[in-house]
Homo-oligomer: A and B are copies of this chain.
């Protein structure tokens, strides 16, 4: 069986739980407490030198890190990845956008506000995260104001990748009311067959 080295609070790990659920692929979770550096032990670093979850372990021992690389691999030849090469490139374009221009701001602001003690958060740094996070949301809104999903052809792993932290933007104390296209898209993603919540921890 697939083993997901996981953390329930992580949006990056949630992406993988969501796609595996929608694909109907059974998996076993191993939970790591990131705040206790459980992904920086010698044992974990031997599996992933980058020291991060999610990490997917295959029955034959192969390992794959980086949430969006895992999504791309699992989605091969399924309805969650368009067949056309240019559409696949557009999926990757959105997923690289997510890791570069979205996650470092919205996910980090959420981590600070939702998982750390208030005293550990610096106001000036938080405001910079919010500012850049809203820039990313504005880019998404330009697309989603006039389209059902991020890439033509329907729901794909691009939507999963960007849904993960966008749908918990409130935990980063970021308001989505200026983005009606994004809000409609969040509902649309949540209505997809096999959808699971970020908090779901039982996949047996």
Contact = CB atoms under 8 A, between A and B. Distances in A.
Contact of A99 (B49, B89, B99): B99
A68 B50 contact: no
A92 B72 contact: yes
How many copies of this chain does the complex contain? Answer: 2
Given A64-B90, A97-B50, A100-B100, A85 B69 contact: no
A97 B51 CA distance: 11
Interface residues of A, number: 32
Contacts of A76: 85
Contacts of A72: 88-89, 92
Interface in A93-124: 93, 95-97, 99-101, 103-104
A64 B50 contact: no
Interface string A69-85: 11011001000000001
A21 interface: no
Contacts of A147: none
Interface in A119-178: 138-139, 142-143
